[in-house]
Each structure stands twice: as C-alpha cells, then as structure tokens.
Structure 1
C-alpha cells in the first residue's frame, strides 16, 4: 500500500511542509524548505530493488535541489514537487490498471486563514481535502469485481444498432463536454463510451483529460444519493436514529439549538427529504462564498452550520434543495460507526459492490464533503444504480434493506422541475410514463434508473456552470435509448 499525505502550513519564516509517507507499515517524515504553497506527488512505476529505499525529491526552485530529500522504505519511488495542487497517483498519462491495492490522496489550495484555538493535528487534517481509499482485496478478486457481464444490445432486448445510434449522437456537438456514457440493462453492460476534454476536480481545472473505464470522475451531488442509501444500511445496523426521530436529540452538544421548539421539531425524515424549513441557497454559483454549501464547507463546524440556519418554513411543509441535510445525515452515520464516514461507506457499501477505488474530497478540517465530494468510476456508479434496480441486493447478497430502497426512492416531498424527492433521490417524470429514479450532480453527472425496464444509465460530463447540463442524459435516454427497446 502506498499513501502520500502532504501538509502545507501558512507562509512565513516558520513555514514547514511535511511529507508523510506510509508504505508497508513504515512511516517516515521529512521537512522541506521554507517556501512554496503546495506539493504535487507522483508514485512512479519503476520498482526499487532489494533493500534500496525510495527517494522523495523535492523540487524547491532553489539552488539546492536535494534540500528536503527523504528516504523511506517503500517499493517504488515517489517524487514530490511544489505546486498549487497536490495529488498522489499512478504514472502520469497512463490509466491505472494496477491490481494491487493502492491509496491515493488529493489536496487543493486552502484559504490562508488560521485560528489559535485549533491544535496542530486539526490544522494538518484541514489541509487534506481529498482522501482516496483502496480496499483490501486480492488481485483476482479485484479483477473479477471490476468486470460487468456484457451483452450485445439485441441480447438485452434492445435494437441491434443501438451502439451505432449512440455513437452517431455522441460524435455530433451534442457529445461535446461529455466524458463517459455507461448503459446497463438486465445487469449486463450493453454500451460504454468515453470522451476527452476539460474536466475539474472539485473546481480545479484539468485540461486534455482522456477518459476511460478506470478514470475516477467527480460525481458531485450523486454523493447525496449514496449517503441516502448508506443511511439505510446504518439504520439496519441499528447505529443511526429512525426517520421519525428528532434530529437534535441525536446532537446533545447543540442543546442551545434544541431550546427552540420549532427547530426541535425537525425530524430525520425532514432531513433526508430536504424539508427542514431552513433557509438555504444553492442557486448562487458554487464559486460564490455566499452559496450555502460553500459557506458550510468553510465553516469550522459544518454540522452546526447546517442545523442553525434560520427557519423560513414549518419543518416538513416545504422542500428546499439543501446540501446541509446530507451533511447532517452523514454526521450521524459517522458518529454511530466509529467516526469515519468514508471507512464505513467503504466497508458496508463499496466493498460488497466490488468498488475497489474511490476518492472523497474533504473540507478544510478533514471531513468528507458528504453532499458532493465523491469521485468514482462510471462503471462503479452503475453498480449503485443496479443495486437500486435489485432492491438493495447485489449478485444475490442483500446489502441494503429492500424496505429502505423502497422508502428512499418513494415520493417524500414535492421538489422543483415537476419532480418529487425521496430520501436524497430525485423522482422525475418521463414523457413515456416510465418510473425514473435519479441521482444528479453539478456539471452533468447523472445516474438514471428505470427499475421497470431494468435500465441503468450513467453520464459523466464537464459541463460545470451549465444549469441545463442534466438534459444531455435525459435526451440520450428518451430520444435514443428508450426508442430502441424491443417490444416482446
């Protein structure tokens, strides 16, 4: 296992940058020179033979390039460069196909703010804003888990030329900005397509990206729907309150908020269905600090921030899109299961589904962005869709209680765009009258599930800033895929 966690303290004469490298149980540290605003780390492919040690090279831009060099007992070299963006990853320009388990960490620039009240460990955690986790599995198990059964369109009850039709559509300007399309029917991979172009990792631009089956992609608010599913797993485990419970009863540390009778009446049902009645505005651009989710992500206590918003409606009476509700639900999952949300999701959802690689962008204080931080491969997003189709089961194993899948994907509130809303899932009508369950993320990230037709469609895109981006996936579904269904 390779892990690179890099910390960047504040600029000034006492600036220290520590590189912590854990490999094969060994932990080594080194201080780098007093300059720079970030690091970029690359795990290189060339092995280090015998007892030789890997070398960390810090390119400081100074006359002494060896200053800050680190030696540690690892089996491949890791190079670290000062940049404004930090990533530990496989060889640049090559899609990862490693079968051994690996761990990746991504960090991005953070505000130059500090608080004397925060201890050093908290400040360091705050610099790590993405955590990639790898699952412990053998090479054979991982290879088997990554494979979807495949089927020709005609064998899945679809027109034989569906692939040609989709290729033709995606070759037009319609496909500009799209990065991946994955189509599943009856549990088999029928079609997949990958593009290239500009992307973002939680707002950080990446040019010239070539996407493929192993490419992790921002899923943005599809993360909310994942949290909605995981809440049901935790409820089955008896580690989170039931939907009818008062939410503030689960947070005794916020007794001052519970003293307000109106706020004390908010239930977990209101939280999961986004009907808390709280003031919340995500219509502002996501680079605007006044956007409620951005303000929450920058708050020292994101849960309190979400819980203490002024109430503008009676809880349960009105729906407002609110990423703070996901943060609250995720906090309950974490505190009921050892304190680590990502670890619980890995163990109880991703590992059973065979998802062996993901990243979860975190806030300045080390807490995963529960509302929008997951990065997954498109094929793995499709696994989550298939899980919903099969009422919480995956290849014969019940992972999520079937009753929770039914409840979470049933209409709990009236939302916008003529859609209903379940527990962190969209329920939008199709012109055909078919039932649709949707998880949607900023920039054109879409997971569309038609349980009656056993269809799962995943679309990833780089259309950040385009509020109509979701229409691309719907057009593909309604204008190309649904007309290709062969009637018995």
Structure 2
C-alpha cells in the first residue's frame, strides 16, 4: 500500500493512549468536519482514526502543496538545477510590466516576500488570478505592491510561479520531477495534481495525498531529510526551511513564524513545524518530541481544529 508505515501502540512509544482516545471522542462529538487523525512517534504509527467514508483515500491537500514545493526546491538546489536562493526568478529579458520583478529571488518566493498582492486580503485579485488563462503570466503582469523582500504577503500566485521555475530548471513537468526525486523514493505512487489551463501542476495547491502519505512527508522532515536510511533532502535544508525567516499572518492559524513555505511556532516549550492547507489539512512535526501528527478535514469553511494537535496530541507525549 502506498504510504505503508510500521504500527505500534501509543504506550509503546511513550504516548498517553487515554488522552488520544479522548481527542478522538472530542472530534466525533464536536468536529464533524474532521476526516482523519494520525499520530506517529519514534518512527512508528501509534494512532490512526478516520471519520466518514473515503477518509483514508487521497484528497486535495490544498496549501500543504506549498510545503512540498519547499522540499523540491531544496532537492533542485542540491542537484545544481538552481544556482542559489538569491538567484533572480526570471531569466534576463523576460517581459514584465513592473521591472522590479527582475529583482525577485527564489528566497523571496519561498518566504512570501516577493511583493505580490495577497489573495487572502484581495478577493477580486484571487478570483481574477484563478480565472486567468495563464496564471503564471497573470502573476508576472501584476504591479508589485511592495518592493521585493520588504513585507510578508501570503501569495498563491507566488507559489505557482515558483513551481514553474522549478519545472523549467528541472527540464520536466513539476509532477514528474516530484515523482522522480521525492514521491518515488518515499514509495508513493504518482498522485493526482490539479493543473492550470496551461497544463502546469499548481504550485500553490491541488496535490492529492492520503493521510498516511502526508505522514511519510512529515517523517521525512522529522528525519531532517533522511528516509529509512536514504538521504532525500540536502543536509541542513529542513533546518533552514523550518526556521522562522519572517513574521507571517498569525491570524491564519495562530502560527506566527514563516520559514520556506512552512509555518513555525513555539507551542508551550516545544518547537512545532507545520504544513497547513485550507479546510484543516495539517502535517505537524515536533522535533523535540520525535512526533509527527496529521489531520485532514473537508475542503470547506469551518472552525480550526489545530488545537487537537497543539494541545491533545502534543501533550500526550510523555
């Protein structure tokens, strides 16, 4: 099965099984939008619950896709496909409306500081971008609202541009590159991935994975890029990607720090690294606890359920 994971009991890896069962009961009683909760510690799957038909199957992970893009960027850098984080995003001579686009770097796309408008605070821009015949070209035609590197603005368009940059650097489709260097080595079958009208996989979302497959990605990050004895990510990349480079929108999930398309927070006295997506998609990594948690939800508006991870699951680690 794609996403196989060695299983154990909570107690065998130092987790409070009663507290996890209480979290399960709270989800069933109070959070009807949640579709899964998985917890792994010390490399073993210790708790696994699904809520509703089809919950164990692949679903749209929304903006968790962005965090996967960050992992692919690290791989591309190590392989010499990209010159460095401070290389310009656009090839010389690329036609743009705002010449400041030529100053935008990979680092700024990874930290959401390129100067693009934020779809979260400008619904009209979001609708126009999504409806465009070429979302990459649409983004490049925008006048930047800040000078590159000056301010954090959460940007789906910027992540999609980064995906296009990676595909160009790799000389192949982004999904094919991801399968060759990341999903395949993890033992995952090729996932569905939504594409724009030009046929490009969306860099900002649309990647379909199962909760167990998300757990594999979290375990890879917990292992600082090593997976079952094989190094998939370059040395030091996870540490750099999960370090807070800028202050993000804390109101989104109560997560104040933003790394390279990963959110960071100090939960109690524990560091937490998060990949998050609309509808309650979470991959949470707690390195000091040797703990990974995954939660998924229906892709629709509903209250946040991150407190289950930040509270119940984290506190179950003894």
Same fold (TM over 0.5): yes
Residue 414 of structure 1 and its aligned partner are, at CA, apart by 1.1
The alignment status of 1:178 with 2:50, answered yes or no, reads: no
Residue 352 in structure 1 maps to residue 167 in structure 2: no
Render the CA deviation track for 1:168-220: whole Å, top value 9, x for unaligned.
22221x23011111111111101111111xxxxxxxxxxxxx0243x011100
Question: Is the counterpart of residue 222 in structure 1 residue 60 in structure 2?
Answer: no
Task: State the distance in 2 between where 1:448 and 1:351 align.
Answer: 22
Task: Figure out how many residues of one structure are paired with residues of the other and give that number.
Answer: 314
Cα 1:147–1:221 change in 2 (3 A) is: same
CA distance in 2, matches of 1:345, 1:291: 29
SS in 2 for 1:476: helix
Change (3 A) 1:364 1:247: closer
SS state at 1:228 partner: helix
Aligned counterpart in structure 2 of residue 339 of structure 1, from 157, 172, 195:
172
In 1, Cα distance between equivalents of 2:235 and 2:211: 24
Larger radius of gyration: 1
Mapped partners of 1:177, 1:476: distance in 2: 13
Matched with 1:380 is: 213
**Structure richer in strand, relative to its length:** 1
Greater relative CO, 1 or 2 (CA 8 Å, sep 6+): 2
Between the aligned partners of 1:212 and 1:255, the Cα distance in structure 2 is 45
Structure 2 Cα separation of the partners of residues 314 and 354 of structure 1: 42
1:451 equivalent among 259, 266, 287: 287
- Pick from 299, 309, 313: which aligns with 1:477? 309
d(CA) in 2 for partners of 1:161, 1:363 = 45
- Of the three residues 204, 209, 213, the one matched with 1:371 is 204
Given candidates 80, 89, 113, the residue that maps to 1:247 is: 89
Distance in 2 separating the partners of 1:376 and 1:397 = 22
Gaps of at least 5 residues in structure 1 are: 1-142, 197-209
Contact 1:277 1:311 in 2 (8 A): yes
After superposition, the Cα gap between the structure-2 partners of 1:392 and 1:299, relative to the gap in structure 1 and judged at 3 Å, is same
Which ranges of structure 2 fall in alignment gaps of 5 or more residues? none
Cα pair 1:181 1:460 within 8 Å, conserved: yes
Are 1:148 and 1:188, in contact at CA under 8 Å, matched by a contact in 2? yes
TM-score under structure 2 length normalisation: 0.92
Aligned-pair Cα RMSD in Å: 1.9
Secondary structure of residue in 2 paired with 1:353: coil
Give, in angstroms, the shift of residue 297 of structure 1: 3.5
Indicate which of 129, 152, 172 corresponds to 2:9.
152
Change (3 A) 1:334 1:148: same
Q: Any idea what the Cα deviations from partners look like across 1:323-356, whole Å, max 9, x if unmatched?
A: 1121121111111223300000011100111112
Distance (Å, rounded) in 2 between the aligned partners of 1:372 and 1:278: 17
Paired residues of 2:193 and 2:206 also in contact (CA < 8 A): yes
- Structure 2 residue aligned with 1:194, among 44, 50, 53? 50
Distance 1:403 1:325 in 2: 24
Partner of 1:282: 120
The aligned residue for residue 102 of structure 2 is: 264
| Counterpart in the other structure of 1:419 | 256
Q: Which has the higher helix share?
A: 2
Rounded Cα–Cα distance in structure 2 between residues aligned with 1:180 and 1:377: 10
Structure 1 residue 433: Cα displacement: 2.5
**1:433 maps to what in 2?**
269
Whether the 8 Å CA contact 2:115–2:153 is kept in 1: the answer is: yes
1:14 corresponding residue in structure 2: none
CA distance in 2, matches of 1:235, 1:322: 22
